[in-house]
Structure 1
Amino acid sequence: MQTPDDDAWLLERSRVLGDRIRAERQRRRISQERLHLSAGISRDVLQRIESGRHNPTLFTLLRIARVLDVPLADLVR
């Protein structure tokens, strides 16, 4: 069992989230350029989210989900 001080699971969940966003973006044939511009976030932030190296805000995730036309729950499940 993981203790509250063990944040390794958070990093893994962040990578999974990024993988889901990238997969959905590619499935819909949306470029990173189009997604970051449409979502109103920087390309660098999008790249870091997709690689699991960024902790996005709820608002950022909602913007991404809206552009991808998927429920937020599908990305963070």
Structure 2
Amino acid sequence: MPHLPDDDAWLLEERRAIGDRIRVTRLRANRTQESVFLAARLSRSSYQAIEAGSADARISTLHKIACVLGVHVTDLLRG
């Protein structure tokens, strides 16, 4: 079984990477943050925190965002 790093820096880095992929995908889809969080039925603050990489997102939330953006959820998770 893989060993996780002792500090949470790796987790912050992963959150930011996912947020970056969401933002890039959103911009490629020519969507505003507002159009995405409304269509995904998320609050503005929750969506902005996910895209900024400052909050963890449930897989179900990422799935909603992916559906709105027209991509598979794995596209948001993999770099």
Instruction: Using structure 2 for the length normalisation, give the TM-score.
Output: 0.90
Quick one: distance in 2 between partners of 1:4 and 1:11?
A: 12
Report the Cα distance in structure 1 between the residues aligned to 2:51 and 2:34, rounded to whole angstroms: 13
Where does residue 72 of structure 1 map in the other structure?
Answer: 73
Where 2:10 maps in the other structure, the secondary structure is: helix
The answer to whether 1:15 aligns with 2:16 is: yes
> Which residues in structure 2 correspond to 1:1-77 (within 5 Å)?
3-77=4-78
Aligned pair count reads 76
Structure 1 unaligned blocks of 5 or more: none
What secondary structure does 2:26 align onto? helix
TM-score by length of 1: 0.92
Give the CA deviation at 1:5: 2.8
Q: Structure 2: any 5+ residue segments left out of the alignment?
A: none
Query: Identical aligned pairs, as a percentage?
Result: 49
CA distance in 2, matches of 1:3, 1:65: 27
Alpha-carbon displacement from aligned partner over 1:1-43 (angstroms, at most 9, x marks no partner): x754321101000000000000100111101110000001011
4+ residue runs over 4 A deviation: none
Distance 1:3-1:72 versus aligned 2 partners, 3 A rule: closer
Q: C-alpha separation between the residues in 1 aligned to 2:41 and 2:73?
A: 17
